[in-house]
Structure 1
Amino acid sequence: MINFIKYTIDGVTYTLVNNGDNTWNRDENAPNASGNYQMTLTIIEDGNITNLDASDDIYEMYLDILTGTEKNTQLGSYVPDFISDTTEIASVFNAENDLLDHLGDEISKIKSNHFITTASNYSISRMESFLGMKGLGTLEQRKSYLISLNQKGNKLNVPAIRNIVKSIAGSDCIVTFFGAEEESNPDKAYGLLKIQVLSPDSTKNYRYADIARALAPLVPSHIKLSVIKYFATWGDILNDFSDWSSLSSREDWQVVREYIPSS
């Protein structure tokens, strides 16, 4: 049984009214400005919450508000005025203009879904299902992980590793390989592949764990993989310095900027 339905358009949320006959409705004026408005629909059924929005191709949840001057297709411009001004022809053209605009939107959507960076949530889920993997994180993070899989190729080498790190975190990295018998190897029983991830792109939404997740299938079983965060966050500064005095006692600000947590 549905207990509650609300929808959000242009940042404003409205609650639908239960008519008591398994239908819900609400009469509201459309937004004043013309444009394509994303709609989010929230449904609570027997205590379970479902959110639907335009990122899922299945539901097609959007409100399209157009004015005549903003239509992309104008069939009347291809014929003489005495034809396009005819009442019956104008009515046909107006109907066809809307259909062709909608067709153009659908073509644009299909084109977008052919590329990971612009694909919808539904298309990304289909890609993940095809690859036999579970999507983890936000939609942007899932896209970055899929892009990293396309970057790595079939061989484990420094360029492939750097491409993966760049795709996921937007940063560079330091790659070091230790033989099992090397004195500097912290774990001499195994070969070690150490990847020190440098400061990431602050504008990129990423999952740090995806770096090791993307690399693990390429690493031979006799080599250990170690992915290290080789940068500090403000959280690290707060955890590792007792107060401002201990932080300000450092030689200069550059030292603080380049601080690396011991862990």
Structure 2
Amino acid sequence: MQNILILGGTGKTGRRVAQRLEADGRPVRTACRTSGSTPFDLADPATWAPALDGVTAAYLVEPSLGAGGDRMPRFVAEAVAAGVRRLVLLSAGGVGEAGDDHPLKAAEDAVRASGADWTILRPDWFSQNFSEGPWLPSILAGTLSLPAGAGATPFIDAGDIAAVAVAALTEDRHRGRTYQLTGPRAIGFGEAVDLIGRATGRPVRYVGIAPETHLERQVAAGVPPAVARLLTGVFTAIRDGSAPEPADGVERALGRPARPFEDYVSETAASGVWN
């Protein structure tokens, strides 16, 4: 049986991947800096070998887009040299069309050229950003401000991403495939927060702001300028109607449709995280 390493094992997708694998009785090693079963820091190569010892498959996550493009390729090379034979990379939507300077481009290239079996996942914006990520404080405060205008994007449930990752880690039929992962329909931020407001019984509104304002706020909050520009550009692409169309990656990988955003909202509201 495979010994599976999960980078970012306590993150949005990594935690869910580990839970699903453990429920199936598979040996799992969760690796991250502050918790998990194995101390690991992608910025510290001294932590790589202990994490890779005895591992045959790995779920790869780059936790910091501002960290530079060479450390994931170096980790991939070390992983394959250590005996890892299957790699599943969490990339991002739009990387295929992005220039070579995109921080995940080199990671994708390294996985494809590794000599191991590989699968690449390119998800759209996570639905869970509203409940576990950067937008939660704004949702709790009642106003979400972003430079996405009236544009819409097909939010993807992190549970669907995890389900595809588990399939790719444990089944041969996903070898050499790149999956575009989206929800079943595009949703504007105004509609998204309205659904959350109705489910929680309190007002939540969305306010479109200028890209320059968003960029300034991100940099002031400590986001590296290059990353802040990249993320602001993604929002403005949504505003301008260039967000990805809904894709069938979840259905191709799992044989079922992607989870609707409305189901995510209902379940999350019931959990009380937005109270």
Question: Which TM-score applies when normalising by structure 2?
Answer: 0.23
| Bigger proportion of residues as strand | 1
| Bigger proportion of residues as helix | 2
**Bigger Rg, which one:** 1
Give the number of the structure with larger relative contact order, counting CA–CA contacts within 8 Å between residues 6 or more apart.
2
